[in-house]
Structure 1
Amino acid sequence: MGTKWKSRIIILFFAFLLTFGTTGVLTFFAVGSTYFNKDYFHTHSFQTEYTNLAWYITMFEFSDFTKEDAKAAIIVTDEDINEHRYRYGDLPEQINNINGQYESRIQEAISSQNQEIADALITERDNKIEDITANFNSDEHVRAKVKKEKEQAVERYFKERESYRSDYVRYSQDFLYYFEEKGTENVFTNINLGNDSIESYMSKQDILFKTNFSFLRENLIHNNVHGYEEILENTIPETIGFIEGEIIVPKSTSSRVYQNYENYKMKQSVVIVYIVAGFIALLLGIFIARKAKATESELAWWRTWYSKLPIDSRIVFLLLTTFGTFISIVLYINQFLYFFDYPQTYGFELIICLIAGSFFMALTIIQGKLIAPELKSRKNIEEQWQKGMIYKTWGELKKLVKNIIESLNEAFLNRSTGTQLFVVLGILFGLGLAASMVFVHPVFFLFYLVLLAVIGIPIVMILVRRVGEFNRIYEKTNELAAGKMGPNLDISGSSILTSLAENINVLKQGVKASQNAQAKSERLKTELITNVSHDLRTPLTSIISYAELLKKEGVSDEDRNAYLEIIDRKSKRLKLLIDDLFEVSKMASGNIELHKDNVDLVQLLQQSFAEYDDKIKESTLLFRFNTPEKPINATVDGQKLWRVFDNLIGNIIKYSLENSRVYINIVEKEGQVEISFKNVSKYELSNNINELFERFKRGDESRNTEGSGLGLAIAKSIIDLHEGTLELDIDGDLFKVTIVLNQ
C-alpha cells in the first residue's frame, strides 16, 4: 500500500514540476524581451514615453505662436490659385459637371409641378456656375477663396493641437525638461530655477534618468501635428536656430514614471526568479522521470482497465488531457502577467490553473506511457484501429446511408409519381402509428427514436428537397409567364422534377430564340418597308413633278426636252427597282431556274468589266487585275453569274474612295474557283457584315446614290443557288468580296 501511494506521489510531483517548469520556460519567451533589460529606462515602453514628451514639447513650447500669427503668415501663391482653379477640371468640364448635378433634380421638380423648388435649384446652379466662371476670370476671386481655405486649416490645426494639451500637461508633471536655442537667449523649460543656473539646480536634484535631445527647424515642422506642414513652414521663423537640451526624470515618489520604475524593478526580480525556478523545475522533473522506478506498479493498475478501451477512445482521451494541460498553462501565463497589479483577483486563479495543469499533465504522462508501446508498430495500429468504435461506427453509418439511398432511389425512380406519393404517405402514416408503442411500454421509446433516425429523417429530408425543387420550378414558370427569362434552373439528380426542370429550360431557350427571331423579323420588315417606300417614292415624285411642269403653258422646247429627259431617266430607274424587287422575291421563294453550261469565268468577268469601260475611265479608280491567261471553266448559269459580276462592279464604282485602287483576283483551288474583289469604301462601314446582305441596304446610309440596295442580296442568292459561297470581309474601310464556286 505504501509503495502504491509513493508511486502516485512521484507521478503527481513529477507532473507538477513539468507543469511549473513549462510555465517558466514559456514565460521566458513571452515576456523575456520586456523584463530582461537593464532597468525600466531601457524598455521600449519608457522610450515611447519620453519620445511622446519630445513631440508635445515641439508642439506646445517650440511652436508657441497664436492663431492670429498663423493667419497673418498665410501666403497664397500662383500655384495655389491654379490648383484651386483646375481642381475639378477646366471651365467647360466644371460647368458640365454642375449642370449634370442639377439637371435631373430640376426636371424632377418640374415634373412634380413644384416650380418653387425648381426655381431655387436653378438659382443655386446658376450661382455655382457664376462662381466657377469667376474663378477663371479673376485671380483675386480665387485668392480670397484659397486664403479662406487656409484660414480654416489654421482653425483645424489649433483645434487638433488643443486636443493634445491634457496629455502634454500630464507628461510635464512626470518629466522635467530644459532646452536652449543656441546663439540666442531663448529657453524652453518647465523647471522653476529661481536664481539658480541649470547646472546648480541639477546638482541639487536626485536624478533617476536623463537624455539629451536636439531639434532643428525641420524637426519643429515635421514633428508636429501631421498634415499641417504648410502652416508651420509659413509661421515658424526661418531664423530659428539649433535647439538642444535634456529630458529628466527626477526621483519623486509622486511621479507616475517613478512608480513605473519601482514597479518594473519589482516585476523584473520576480520574473527572473520565476523563470530560473521554472528551468530548474523542468530539469529536476526530467531527472526524476529517468531515475524513478516505482511508477511501474502504479501503471500496472491503470493498464488493467485502460487496455480494455479501444485504441481510438484512448487516443481521444489522450488528446483531451493534452488539450487540458495546454489550456491550463496558457491561462496561467496570461494571469501571471496581471498578478502583480491585481494579486487578490488573480492569486487564487493562478493556484487553480497550476493544480489543473498538474492534474491534466499527470493524466497525459500516464496515458502516454501506456499507449506508446502500441503505437510503435504500424500493423498493430491498423489492427487496433479496425477494432475501434470510430471505425466500426463509421462503417455501419456508411452502410446504413448507402442502404437508405439505394432503397429510396428504387422507390422513387422505378415507380410512377402516384405510387411514390402513396409509398411516402404510407411510411409517414406507419411512423405515426409506431409512436403509439411508446405508450405501451417505455422501452419502445428508444426503438422509436432509432426508427425515426433511420426512416423518418431521411424521408423528411427528401420531401423537403423535392418541395424545394417544386417551388423553384413554380417560381421559374411564373417568371416565364410574366415574360422574364432569367437564368436556367439548376439540374441535379434524376427525379421526375429534374426532368421537368430540364424540359422547362429547353422551352425557355426555344421561347427566347423565337422572341429574338421575331424581333429581328419585325426590325427587318420595318426597315424593308421604309427603304422600299423611300426608293420607289424618290423617282416617282420626280416623274410627277416634271409631268406637272410639262402641263404648264409657256414651257420652252428646251425645258420640255430637259423635263422629258429627267422623266425618262427616272422611269427607267423606277423600272430597275421594280425588276430587282421582283427578281429577289423570286429567288427568296425559290421560283427560279438555272440554265447551267460550261462557261469560261475569266472571259465572263472581262466582258462584265467591258460593260463598265466608260464609267471606269470617267472614275479616278485604278483597277488591278490578277487573272490567268488560260481559261477557267465551270458549270454555271452564265447569265445569272454575269448579273453577280455586274452588281459587284457597279457597287465598286459607286462606293469606292476616289483615287484608290481596286483589286480583282481569280484563281483555281482544288476543283474550285475563287474570285475576289477588293476596294476601299468611301463610306464608313458597319461592323455587322450580315447587314450588308439585307434587302435595300446600301453603303451610303443617306441613300443619295443610284441603286436599289438589292445588289448584294441578289448576288448572294444567285451564288447560293449555284451551291457556292459569297463572303464579305471588312477591315476598317477595306471591303472584300470572295466568291467560291465548284467547277
Structure 2
Amino acid sequence: MATKWKSSILIYLWAFLLTFSLSGILALISTGTKYMNRDFFHTPEFHSELDQFAGYLSMFELNETTPEEAKAAITVTKDDIDEHRFRYGGLDQQISNIRAQYESRIQDAQAAKNEEIANALIKERDAKIEDISNNFASDDWVRPKVVKEKETKIDEYFKKRDQFKYDFLRYQKELTYYFKDPETGKVYSNQNNENPLKQKDMLYLTNFSISSDSYLHYGPGGYEDLADVLSINSQKTIEGQIGIAKTLSASSPLMEQYKDFKRNQLIILSYCLAGIIGLLLSLYFSKKMTAVNAQVESWRPIYNKLPIDTRVGLFLITALLSIIFIFLVNENFYNIYNNLYILASEIVFALLGTAIFVAITHVQRKFLQVDLKSWTNVKEEWKKSLSVKTWQGGKKVFKSVRAALVEAFLDQSTGMQMFILLTGVFFIGAAALMVAMNPIFVILYIFLLAGAGFPLGMFLVKKVGYFNRIVQKTNELAAGKLGEDLDVTGKSVLATLAGNINVLKQGVKHSQSEQAKSERLKTELITNVSHDLRTPLTSIITYTELLKGNDVSEEEKTAYLEIIDRKSKRLKVLIDDLFEVSKMASGSVELVKAKVDLNQLLQQALAEYDETIRASSLQFRVNQAGQPIYALVDGQKLWRVFDNLIGNILKYSLENTRVYISIKTVEHQALITFKNVSKYELSDNVDELFERFKRGDTSRHTDGSGLGLAIVKSIIDLHDGKLDIEADGDLFKVIITLLLGD
C-alpha cells in the first residue's frame, strides 16, 4: 500500500513539474516580453506619457497665441469660400431644398386662411433664397461668413483646451523639464533655477524635442485646419530635457508604476526561469520513472473496467482541461498588481489543481497506448463500449414504449379517444398529400376538414386546455397556493382527476389551517427566556440569601433591598414585554385606529427622551415635513414603536456620533427613517434582530430585553405597514412605511 502511495506521489510531482514548466514558458511568451525592458522608464507606456506631456507643454507654455491674435490672423482662401458655398450642394439644389422646406408650411397657412403667417413664411423663404443666391454671386458676400465660422471655432478650441489643464498640472508635479528657445533664449522649466538638468540629480533623464504644433495631436481634436492661426507666434521646434527627479515622492503615480514594474519584472522573469528549470527536471525524472510506471500498471485492471469509448472520452476531456487550466494559471499574472501573497497562493493552488489533470491524462495515455495499438483489440473493446450498450438500451426503450401503449388502454375510453384522434390526424395528413399530388381532391379535402378535422381539433384543444388547467392547479398547490376549485365537467378521466385534486386541495387547506393554529399556540422562547430571566432571578435569590444572614448591617440590607427591587422591576419589564409580543404574534391585539399626525407623534416621543438625549453625547438630527402627515393608526401603539426605536438608539449608539431621524411622504405613503452608528458589531443577517430576545448587544452589557424590535415589527405588521432594517458596516438604519390616511 505504501508503495502505491509513493508511486502516486511521484507521478503527481512529475506532473506538477511539467505543469509548472509549461506555465512558466507560456508566461514568458504571453507576458514576459513586456518586462524585457530595463525598467519602467524604458517602456512604450512611459514614453507614451512623455509624448502626452510634451503635447500639453506645447499647448500651454510653448504656444503663446491668444484668441484675439488667432482671430486677427484669420485668412479666407478660395477653397474656404467654395467649401462654404457648395456645402449643401449647387445653387439650384439649395434653392429647391429651401422651397421644399417652406412649401407645405405655406400651403397649410393659406388653407387656414392665415395670410399673415403665410406672408411671413414667404418673406423668410425669399430672404434665404436671396442669401444663397448672393453666396454664389459674390465672394465678398461669403467671406464674412467664413470668418465668423472660424472665429467661433477658435473660441470652441480655447474653451475645450482648458479641459486638459488638469492633466498638464499633474504631469508638471511628476516630471522635471528644461527647454530653451534657441532663437529668443527663453527657458521653459519647472525648476527654481534656469540651468539644464543634471544626470546625477535625476532617476531618469532623456533629451527631447518639441514641435510648437505638437499640441494638435494631444489636445482637442478636429481643429487641424486652424493650425496656421493657432501657432502664428510659435512656428518652431525647441530642444530640451525631460526627467524624473530622485527627490520625487515615492507615493507619486509614476514612482508607484516604477516600483510595480520592478517588482513584476522580478516575479515574471523569476517564474519563467523557474519554469525552464522545471522543464529540465521533468524531462530528467521522466527517464527515472521506470519503476513508477511498473507500479502504475497495477491500476490498469480497474481502469479497463470502463468502456473503451468512455476511456477515450475521459482522456480527451482531461487533456483538454489540462490545456485550459494551464492557460488559466497564466491568467493570474494579469492580477500581478494584487497582493504578492495572494497572487502566489492563487498560482500555487491553480498549479496543484492542474497537475491533477495532467497526471490523470498521463496515466490514461499510458493505458490507452496499449489498448489501441491493435485493431483486433479495438474491435473486441468496442463490443463492450458504452455506445453499443446505448444501442441495446434503445431497443429496451422501444419495448417500454410498447408497454406504455398497452397501459394507455388500461382505461379503454381514454385509449380509444387517443386512437381516434391519431387516426383522424393520419387520414387528414394523407388527404393533404393527395391534394398536393392532385388538386382535384381539394373539394373532398375541404369537406373532410369541416366534417372531421375541425371537430377533432376543437376536441383536442379543449382537452389540452382542461389538462393545462389541471397542471396549473397542481403547480399552484405545490407552491402552497390553494385558490379556487377546478371545474369538474363530464365523466372523463380528466374530470375524475380534477375532482380528486379538488379533494386533495380541501385536505391541504384544512391541514394548513390546523397547522397555523397549532403554530400560534407554540412557544419557541424557552431558551431565550431562561437566559434573560435567569440573571435577575439569580440576583434576587442571591441577595435574599444574604439578607437572611445575621451579620448584615443596616446599610448593606438597604443596598441589597435596592438591588432586589431593581432586579424585580427588571424582571417585570421582561415579562410584560414577553406577554405583549406574544399577544401581538397570536393576533389577539385590537387596534384603536384614529387619524394621527405622525409629525406630532414623533415629536412627542422625542420629547419623552429630551433629558436623556441632552445628557448623552449623541447629536440628533430630525428632519420633518413642513406640513402635518396624517395616517390612520393606533396612536398609542405607534408611540410605542417610536419609543422603542429611540430607546434602542440611546442604548446602542456609538458615543459622540450623530443620529438621523426623518419623516416624509412618498406616493401616498409615510416613510420614517431612523439612522445611527452602532457601538456593537452587527451581524450580516440583520433580519435576525426581528427575532424575539435577539439583541444588538450580543454580550448583553445593556439592559434591553431583546423584544423591542419584535414588538415594533408586530405593531407595524398589524398596521399593514412595512419595517425594513439595513446595515452597512456599523451604520444601522430602520425604515418604516405606513399608508397615509384619507
TM-score by length of 2: 0.52
Which residue of the partner structure matches residue 348 of structure 2?
351
Preserved CA contact (<8 Å) 1:35 1:268: yes
1:244 aligned to 239, 243, 251, which one? 239
Question: AA paired with 2:408?
Answer: G
Structure 2: how far apart are the matches of 1:427 and 1:121? 83
Q: Letter of the aligned partner of 1:430 in structure 2?
A: A
Distance 2:380 2:413 in 1: 42
In the alignment, does 2:247 pair up with 1:269?
A: no
- Secondary structure in 2 aligned to 1:198? coil
Q: Are 1:376 and 2:354 counterparts?
A: no
**Percent sequence identity over matched residues?**
38
CA distance in 1, matches of 2:173, 2:439: 81
**Residue 430 of structure 1 corresponds to which residue in structure 2?**
408
Conserved 8 A contact 1:62-1:220: no
Once residues 224 and 69 of structure 1 are traced to their aligned partners in structure 2, the CA distance between those partners, rounded to angstroms, is 19
CA distance in structure 1 between the partners assigned to 2:284 and 2:99 by the alignment: 87
Which whole-Å CA distance do the structure 1 matches of 2:354 and 2:150 have between them? 64
Q: Shift of the alpha carbon at 1:360?
A: 1.3
Q: CA deviation at 1:356?
A: 1.0
Select between 92-101 and 294-303 the one with higher mean Cα deviation. 294-303
Could you tell me which residue of structure 1 aligns to residue 168 of structure 2?
A: 168
Distance in 2 separating the partners of 1:18 and 1:434: 69
Is the radius of gyration larger for structure 1 or structure 2?
Answer: 1
Alignment partners' CA distance in 2, 1:20 and 1:256: 34
Residue 215 of structure 1: aligned partner = 210
| Equivalent pair of 1:179/1:244 in contact (CA under 8 Å) | yes
Contact 2:65–2:233 at 8 Å: present in 1 too? no
2:176–2:189 CA contact under 8 A, matched in 1: yes
The residue aligned with 1:734 is none
Is residue 202 from structure 1 mapped to residue 180 from structure 2 by the alignment? no
Describe the SS at the equivalent of 1:294. Answer: helix
1:450-469 to 2 correspondences below 5 Å: none
- 1:388-421 Cα deviation digits (max 9, x unpaired): 22355369769999xx9xx9xxxxxxxxxxxxxx
Alignment of 1:43-58 (within 5 A): 43-58=43-58
Q: 1:220 to 1:324 in 2, by over 3 A?
A: closer
Check the 8 A contact 2:62/2:212 in 1, yes or no. Answer: no
For residue 187 of structure 1, report the CA deviation from its aligned partner. 2.1
Report deviation, 1:288: 1.1
What does residue 609 of structure 2 align with? none
Q: CA deviation at 1:122?
A: 4.8
Residues 166-175 or 337-346, more deviating: 337-346
**Once structures 1 and 2 are overlaid, which stretch shifts more, 57-66 or 352-361?**
57-66
Conservation of the 8 A alpha-carbon contact between 1:6 and 1:294: no
Question: 3-state SS of the aligned residue for 2:31?
Answer: helix
CA contact (8 A) 2:307 2:385 kept: yes
1:300 paired with 2:297, answer yes
CA distance in 2, matches of 1:505, 1:225: 77
Paired residue type of 1:247? I
Which of the numbers 304, 315, 322 marks the counterpart of 2:312?
Answer: 315
**Counterparts in 2 of 1:435 and 1:31: CA distance versus 1, 3 Å:** farther
8 A Cα contact 2:55 2:217, kept in partner:
no
Distance 1:222 1:297, change over 3 A: closer
Contact 1:325 1:356 in 2 (8 A): no
Q: Secondary structure at the match of 2:23?
A: helix
Counterpart of 1:390, as a letter, is S
Kindly tell me: are residues 505 and 48 of structure 1, through their superposed partners in 2, closer, same or farther at Cα, counting changes over 3 Å? Answer: farther
2:323 alignment partner, one of 315, 322, 326:
326
Distance 1:153-1:239 versus aligned 2 partners, 3 A rule: closer
Distance 1:432 1:105 in 2: 79
Q: Which one-letter code corresponds to 1:270 in the other structure?
A: I
Letter in 1 for 2:283: I
Q: CA deviation at 1:173?
A: 1.7
Match for 1:40: what amino acid? F
The CA deviation at 1:281 is 1.1
* Whole-angstrom CA distance in 2 between matches of 1:67 and 1:505: 89
Question: Which residue of the partner structure matches residue 284 of structure 1?
Answer: 281
Are the structure 2 counterparts of residues 236 and 504 from structure 1 closer, same or farther at C-alpha, using a change threshold of 3 Å?
farther
In 1, the alpha carbon distance for the partners of 2:266 and 2:413 equals: 71
Alignment of 1:498-577 (within 5 A): none
Q: Which moved more, 1:382-391 or 1:67-76?
A: 382-391
Q: Distance in 1 between matches of 2:132 and 2:112?
A: 30
Q: Within 2, Cα distance between the matches of 1:88 and 1:434?
A: 83
Deviations 1:4-35 (A, max 9, x none): 12101101111111111111111110112111
| Shift in alpha-carbon separation, 1:218–1:67, aligned structure 2, 3 A | closer
> What secondary structure, in the 3-state scheme, does the structure 1 residue paired with 2:76 have?
coil
| Matched residue, 2:72 | 72
How far apart are 1:118 and its partner, in Å?
A: 6.4
1:231 aligns with 2:226: yes
Structure 1, unpaired ranges of 5+: 408-425, 438-454, 471-493, 508-743
Secondary structure of the residue aligned to 1:65 is coil
Comparing 268-277 and 111-120, the one that deviates more: 111-120
Instruction: Give the match for residue 341 of structure 1.
Output: 338
- 1:385, distance to aligned residue in structure 2 (A): 4.1
CA distance in 1, matches of 2:112, 2:316: 73
Q: Does 1:62 align with 2:62?
A: yes
1:671-714 deviation line (CA, Å, top 9, x unaligned): xxxxxxxxxxxxxxxxxxxxxxxxxxxxxxxxxxxxxxxxxxxx
> Which residue of structure 2 lines up, in the alignment, with residue 259 of structure 1?
256
Counterpart Cα distance in 1 of 2:105 and 2:228: 44
Q: What is the aligned partner in structure 1 of residue 656 from structure 2?
A: none
Instruction: Report the CA distance between 1:233 and its aligned residue.
Output: 1.1
Structure 2 unpaired stretches of 5+:
443-742
Counterparts in 2 of 1:103 and 1:374: CA distance versus 1, 3 Å: farther
Q: Distance in 2 between matches of 1:255 and 1:134?
A: 61
* CA spacing shift, 1:436–1:358, aligned 2, 3 Å: farther
TM superposition shift of 1:260: 1.9
Cα contact 2:58–2:213 (8 A) shared by 1: no
- 1:141 equivalent to 2:119? Answer no
Q: Distance in 2 between matches of 1:107 and 1:307?
A: 92
| SS across alignment from 1:372 | helix
The CA distance in 1 between the partners of 2:440 and 2:128, in whole Å, is 56
Per the alignment, do residues 233 and 500 of structure 1 end up closer, same or farther by CA in structure 2, a change over 3 Å counting?
Answer: farther
Q: 1: distance between equivalents of 2:51 and 2:209?
A: 12
Q: For 1:210, what is the secondary structure of its paired residue?
A: strand
Render the CA deviation track for 1:533-556: whole Å, top value 9, x for unaligned: xxxxxxxxxxxxxxxxxxxxxxxx
The letter of the residue matching 2:349 is I
Q: Which string of whole-angstrom CA distances, capped at 9 and with x for unpartnered residues, describes residues 130-187 of structure 1?
A: 3312322443432222122112211232233222222222222221111111121222
Quick check: 2:11–2:292 contact (8 Å CA) kept in 1? yes
Aligned-partner SS, 1:179? strand
**How many residues get paired?**
434
**Cα distance, 1:376–1:171 mapped onto 2, change above 3 Å:** farther
Match of 2:180 in 1: 180
| Contact 1:324–1:360 under 8 Å retained in 2 | yes
2:130 equivalent in structure 1? 130
Contact 1:73 1:234 in 2 (8 A): yes
Residue type matched to 1:58 in 2? S
1:632-687 CA-partner distances (Å, limit 9, x unpaired): xxxxxxxxxxxxxxxxxxxxxxxxxxxxxxxxxxxxxxxxxxxxxxxxxxxxxxxx
Would the aligned equivalents of 2:63 and 2:212 in 1 still touch at CA under 8 Å?
no
> How far has the Cα of 1:344 moved from its partner?
5.6
Alpha-carbon shift at residue 428 of structure 1 (Å): 12
SS of the residue 1:184 aligns to: coil
1:38 paired to 2:38: yes
